[in-house]
């Protein structure tokens, strides 16, 4: 289980919507975005938490990294 706030999800969702707008792609519904966001967070946590010292709380710097990734590299495959 990953612990994050709804505000953190909303921030990432807005970034995703902006990226989709730039690519002229339809937005996902917020609840459809949630599992994608959780998968991204989990991937970052696995990569940065080899010794499981972080627990389930997602550090702010990892959320910032996920947001940076969404903002700078999101591409839509057709």
pLDDT digits (tens, 9 = 90+) for 2-30: 778 898 899 999 988 988 898 888 999 99
pLDDT over 70 (residue 40): yes
R_g of the chain, CA atoms, integer Å: 13
40-42-48 Cα angle (round to 5): 105
Q: What pLDDT score was predicted for residue 42?
A: 81
Listed by start position, the domains of the chain span 6-70
- In the chain, what percentage of residues exceed pLDDT 90? 21
Mean pLDDT of the chain: 77
Cα-based distances in Å from 69 to 10, 45, 62, 74: 15, 14, 10, 7
State the Cα–Cα distance between residues 33 and 68, nearest whole angstrom: 16
Token digits of residue 26: 């339809």
């Amino acid at each position: 289980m990953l612990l994050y706030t709804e505000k953190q999800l909303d921030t990432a969702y807005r970034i995703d919507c902006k990226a989709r707008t730039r690519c002229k792609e339809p937005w996902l519904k917020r609840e459809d975005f949630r599992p994608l966001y959780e998968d991204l967070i989990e991937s970052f946590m696995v990569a940065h938490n080899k010794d499981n010292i972080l627990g389930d709380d997602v550090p702010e710097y990892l959320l910032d990294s996920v947001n940076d990734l969404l903002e700078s590299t999101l591409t839509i495959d057709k």
